[in-house]
Amino acid sequence: MHCHCYLRNGVVFIPTLGALDAGGHMETEPVEVVPVVDTAQLRQAFGRCFARGNPPKRMPRTRADWPPPLLPKYAHVKSRSAFERGLSTWDINDGKGAWEIHGHRKGRFGRGTERDPEQRTALPPGTPIEQVIERMIAILQSAAKG
């Protein structure tokens, strides 16, 4: 399971990540949009995201076949670059038998983001998903306080 979440202006955006048949993931509908201060709604939103999993998606054949960026419309902005202003990004992965939460930093040359090794949270093998969600919520709420 792989999950992305974004914090922007006190709001958390959690898109569904489709698993591409050629490898990797693509953000897709539905997208959960929840105020960071609403712990109960965040818990439910992450629960729905994990219940959906990573549905299979076909890899677009050409650059023109890729859909437009999904998240700007949920933030009521015109472009992905506008969405990225003031944005904090995390991902949650169930890899190698244990959950990991990774914070992101600006990518090289100011493009996109990359995992920040200083923002890695490794959870012990066998950690229940509910505890993973609680830890992610705590990280988001702490980041929102700045």
What is the sign of the dihedral through the CA atoms of 120, 123, 129 and 130? negative
CA distance 32 to 125: 27
Beta strands 2-8 and 88-95 are antiparallel
- Topology classification of domain 2-145: NMB0488-like fold (3.40.1590)
CA distance 7 to 103: 11
pLDDT in single tens digits along all 146 residues of the chain: 999 999 999 999 999 999 999 888 999 999 999 999 999 999 999 999 999 999 999 988 888 888 999 999 999 999 998 999 889 999 999 977 899 999 999 887 767 789 999 999 999 999 999 999 999 999 999 999 97
- In the chain, where the domains are located: 2-145
Residue among 103, 142, 141 nearest 122 (CA): 103
For residue 13, the model assigns a pLDDT of 98
What is the sign of the dihedral through the CA atoms of 122, 123, 126 and 129? negative
For residue 3, the model assigns a pLDDT of 96
Query: Phi and psi (nearest 5°) for 60?
Result: -55, 140
